[in-house]
Amino acid sequence: MVVNDAAVDTQRLSIRGRILEPDQPALQDALAAVYETPERPRCLCVPGGVEMYVAFHRRYLAKRMPETGSQHHPACPSFEPSPQQSGLGELVGDAVRESEGAVELRVDFAWSRQAGGKALGRRTDDDPGEIEAPRRRMSLRALTHFLFERAGFNRWSPAMSGKRSQGVLHKYLQRAAEQVRAKGVVLGERLYVPEQFNEATHAEAARRRRERLGVLRPHDGVAPLAVALAEFKAAEAFPGGYRIWLKHMPDAPLLASAKTWERIARTYAAVLEARDADHGQRVRAVITALIRARREHTYEIDTATLLLASDQWIPVEGVHELPLLQALVDAGRYFVKPLRYDARCAAAFANALLLDTGAVPLPLHVYSPFMTPREREAKAATLRAAGGGWVWSTDEPMHALPPAAPRRA
């Protein structure tokens, strides 16, 4: 996975017997010397080190080997919790396949539709030719969680404070999609995240948007689809349906039929209502929409999902998680927020994993009086399996957070 620059603490690498840090000029030459060779840099965050590989993306980078994230020390920028600590665990190896520098995703949506609206790429005949074992596919929500995690937005360190602007969101989500393929399509070529709005550069940004979404032009009776991901601003009814306004995109709303938007608003009512809830904190509604162009430069929603994020763009399952995350941010803590993906019940996972308490991440759990019986039992089962842990119920004052260990040199 990619971790955005603001998260990076010092990482020491061993390359051909030399120990180097990211800010040393010699690092680029050392990485170049072992690029595309069998030799591996080693991250020295734990005794004996952990093997890395070298990638080239504008510059040489030492990147974590697939499925080794949990072998790194939690204080290391290459650390990643075990997939089983989030909904990603149900998808890895099936819907998510990672090799050095590239990821292949199996998704449950098509990348194009016929002129009449029918999805392409699915067999409809009675003789399939072969029988495949059932395999998991990612929903649009899971894809959103994957991009946020790959871009590092579910991870927090004090160095990120004040740095998570729309420009940073645009840069790292687009970059996270560059080495990802879904159904043979490079996700980076089909993802649009608005640039940060600036009156002085707005015309150029709009031109770049039109160029990127030129992929939606129909051909041979086929209407391609793309993914638009942004902060939802408002839905405005008009005689033809709804205009869906996105932040940082004030001149080009997404369009939706009345039936489509009313179904979306009904399905994600809790997300939309959370923006007006009396919780005393800013919360963002993030929309991820599959869009198509019915007419020239007119973007219509085909399918969409909505999720909540904190003011720092950390995805959350509900407003009950916001006080804990804000307390961690205010205390200058290092943590990861496990994401649900397509898991049936997010309560089975920790609400946050502290990365600054020692050699293993420390789970933090939140109970809410509004949890369903199934959610409460899932949370209780997780705590029983772990032999207990830090737990806070939102109807009580939050008790002290576990103390941080001294930061590693």
Q: What are the tens digits of pLDDT across the range 263-295?
A: 999 999 999 999 999 989 999 999 999 999 988
Average pLDDT, the chain: 91
Which residue, among 320, 276, 65, 312, has the nearest Cα to 168 in the 3D structure? 312
- The phi-psi region of residue 275 (left if phi > 0; otherwise alpha if psi is between -120 and 50; otherwise beta) is alpha
Q: Averaged over 357-383, what is the pLDDT? A: 96
Match 């737990």 to its residue by tokens.
391
Per residue in 141-185, pLDDT tens? 999 999 999 999 999 999 999 999 999 999 999 999 998 999 999
Count CA atoms closer than 13 A to 40's CA, side-chain side. Answer: 12
Report whether 113 contacts 393 (CB < 8 A): no
d(CA 376, CA 367): 7
> Is residue 133 scored above 80 in pLDDT?
no
Phi, psi of 43 (to 5 degrees): -80, 130
Encode pLDDT of 120-131 as tens digits.
554 444 444 554
Between 240 and 200, the higher pLDDT residue: 200
**Total-model pTM:** 0.89
Domain ranges of the chain: 5-80, 317-393
Strand partners, 248: none
